[in-house]
Amino acid sequence: MISVAIMGHGVVGSGVAEILATHKQKLFAAIGEEIDIKYILDLREFPDSPFADRFTKDFNVIADDIEVRVVVETMGGLHPAYEFVKECLSRGKSVVTSNKELVAAYGAELLALASEQNANFLFEASVGGGIPIIRPINQCLVANNVSEIAGILNGTTNFILTKMIHEGMGFEEALKLAQELGYAERNPEADVEGHDACRKICILASLAFGKHIYPDAVHTEGITKITAADVEYAEAWGGVIKLIGSVKKIDKDTIDIVVAPMFVPNESQLANIDDVFNGIMVRGDCTGDVVFYGKGAGKLPTASAVVADIIDSIKHFKSRKYLSWADSDNSSVLPYEDSVRAMYVRGVTDDKAAAYDKARAVFGEIHELSKENAPDSEIAFITEPLALSDFNEKLGQLGDIEAKSVIRIGDL
């Protein structure tokens, strides 16, 4: 019998307890041992829970119990999750977490501590919910030099953009619907401003390129400024707008990493990933593109990834599962103004013909976009690829043309 503790009985934590109970036989067959939920840590009361006798409010009960060999952290947030996880690892317990904020902020440190203690620190559920992505990058694709990872990493924003694209909703209306359906939080900032996707691309970049990338080093834009007009111009161009987390290897010491809305061509595998689904493309030098698709959030999908990590931890009690990256000072991150991409511009002007001439004179070759019912005062075009600093300088030279939207063109 293997004793585990679950810290946090919210959506994911309660899903973990549920799967451990409902899939007991299946899991026994995988490891030849029964898994017992010895404790569930939560400050709230759950008198009607089938696990009511396992609840504790005292973390030390878990930390001090040498029978507990795997601790699941599904509390979310940084504190006290960080302190609790650190304490468990220090005592040689393996830890499994779904907490992307924790891994993005302290992954290098916690992995090093796990290594010192010959314990496992696993976090498959932190990126892509139920989609396997950490283990595939760490194991199945290990023979590859990964040159790029790009993905739709946030279900809430993908739901909002899908409603804007396919049902013509405005951002506010789509956000309200996402909140009503329980996808978006009452305070949706972490999702709509791109912070959640940023944490996830940081974890994938750290894993793929071997150095911890901290979220504050990553230029991050959300989707709050995307308008119905931009969605229509993207369609006229032959694509859709998606919030993309992207990391590309530029040379052996440099990566270009960003989170931003991008125009994604209809031919891209990422273009048709809709609603709350996530999709992640990994480009390997041996495999070419490999795309992972599925439910990036939700109780049982995310809990499924956590339970898989519990099983993997148990299988690797004796010889720890190798998963590691070095700490870093973010010096490998290309300054975001140096990043080269084609750009979409939507602007207003008094004289459309003169404005396009001016845009051509400033940017060189441009691709004009038109859509039905565009106001007479509106222009829209796509530039050739150029560094963002260059783009911003040229944008400033457009004189009377007032830029309303600028969006990156995804090379996907």
- Would you name the residues annotated as active-site residues? 200
* Distance in Å, CB of 190 to ligand HSE, minimum: 7
Stretch that binds ligand HSE, among 148-156, 262-270, 280-288, 389-397 (CB under 6 A): 148-156
- Cα separations in angstroms, 47 against 44, 52, 83, 110, 218: 10, 6, 28, 34, 44
Asked if 33 contacts 310 with a C-beta cutoff of 8 angstroms, the reply is no
Least distance in angstroms from the C-beta of 370 to ligand HSE: 34
| Residue type (1 letter), 326 | A
Residues 6 or more apart whose Cβ sits within 8 Å of residue 377: 348, 349, 350, 352
Residues 260, 245: Cα–Cα separation, whole Å: 7
Closer residue to ligand HSE (CB): 191 or 378: 191
User: How far, in Å, CA of 165 to CA of 273, rounded?
Assistant: 12
Specify the stretch interacting with ligand HSE by CB under 6 A; choose among 149-157, 228-236, 336-344, 371-379: 149-157
- Tokens found for residue 305: 């990834």
Minimum CB distance to ligand HSE, residue 258 (Å):
18
Comparing CB distances to ligand HSE, the nearer of 42 and 191 is: 191
Per-residue CA distances from 114 to 3, 65, 96, 104 (Å): 19, 18, 11, 16
Q: Which is nearer to ligand HSE, 261 or 296 (CB)?
A: 296
Looking at beta carbons only, is 31 or 177 nearer to ligand HSE?
177
Question: What CA–CA distance (Å, rounded) separates 110 from 204?
Answer: 16
Q: Which stretch binds ligand HSE (CB under 6 A): 152-160, 244-252, 312-320, 356-364?
A: 152-160
User: For ligand HSE, which residue of 130, 194, 284, 296 counts as binding (CB under 6 A)?
Assistant: 296
Region from 57-65, 150-158, 283-291, 342-350 binding ligand HSE, contact rule CB under 6 A? 150-158
Residue window 193-212: x/- pattern of binding to ligand HSE, with contact defined by CB under 6 A: ---x----------------
Q: Quote the least distance from Cβ 294 to ligand HSE, whole Å.
A: 12
Pairing of strands 2-7, 35-41: parallel
Query: x/- contact string, 80-119, with ligand HSE (CB under 6 A)?
Result: ----------------------------------------
Sign of the C-alpha dihedral computed for residues 7, 11, 16 and 18 taken in this order: positive
Closer to ligand HSE by CB, 12 or 379: give it: 12
- Give, for 40, the enclosing helix (H) or strand (E): strand 35-41
Among 156, 268, 332, 383, binds ligand HSE (CB under 6 A): 156
Q: How far is the C-alpha of 370 from the C-alpha of 192, rounded, in Å?
A: 28
Q: Give me the amino acid identity at 348.
A: V
13, 15, 130, 155: which one contacts ligand HSE (CB under 6 A)? Answer: 155
Coil, strand or helix at 378: strand
Min dist. Cβ of residue 247 to ligand HSE (A): 18
Euclidean distance between CA atoms 114 and 34, whole angstroms:
24
In the complex with ligand HSE, the residue whose CB is nearer, 129 or 279, is 129
Report the residue from 101, 191, 232, 309 that binds ligand HSE according to the rule CB under 6 A.
Answer: 191
Q: Which position among 20, 260, 297, 333 is part of the footprint of ligand HSE (CB under 6 A)?
A: 297
- Least separation, in Å, of the C-beta of 107 and ligand HSE? 16
Beta bridge partners, 295, equal 277
Q: Which is nearer to ligand HSE, 299 or 394 (CB)?
A: 299
Do residues 137 and 282 lie in contact, with contact meaning Cβ atoms separated by under 8 Å? yes
Select from 245, 247, 326, 330 the least CA-distant residue to 283.
Answer: 247
CA atoms within 13 A on the CB side of 75: 23
129 binds ligand HSE, rule: CB under 6 A:
yes
- Dihedral over Cα of 102, 109, 208, 73: its sign: negative
Measuring CA to CA, which residue among 390, 383, 374 is closest to residue 406?
383
CB of 93 to ligand HSE, least distance (A): 25
* Sites of contact with ligand HSE (CB under 6 A): 129, 154-156, 191, 196, 296-297
